[in-house]
Amino acid sequence: MQNKAYGLAKSYYKRASQISLVAGNAHNQLAVIALYQSNILATLYHYYRSLLAKQPFGGVKENLEALLSKAYRTDRSPTKEETGKESRKFLASFIRSQAALYLEP
């Protein structure tokens, strides 16, 4: 239900990201939607894309740091919607390694 609700918005933001490659706004919005859906990997990916755009979204650095800080502290496992059982551990480790790499020292 939640996926359907965000499906249209996601499709438009994806198109926006393809049309305006230099702007990081669309990727930030895709990250926000992914965060609403508790998809941390997708959130991380879109925050990176937003940050690395020629014109990064204004608050994306803070958003990314907040996401990674939380991931680093909580050691949260991905939800069932994100992946199957056996790959959850990898995704959790992967996200934490990104958090450690980005946040430390």
What 24-27 contacts at long range (C-beta under 8 Å, 24+ apart), as own/partner pairs, is 24/49, 24/50, 24/51, 24/52, 24/53, 24/55, 24/56, 24/57, 24/60, 25/50, 25/57, 26/50, 27/53, 27/57
Assess 6 for contact with another protein (CB under 8 A): no
Using CB under 8 A, which of 35, 44, 60, 68 touches another protein?
44
Assess 77 for contact with another protein (CB under 8 A): no
Assess 84 for contact with another protein (CB under 8 A): yes
Binding site for another protein (CB under 8 A): 18, 21, 41-42, 44-45, 48-49, 51-52, 54, 75, 82-84, 86-87, 90-94, 96-98, 100-102, 104-105
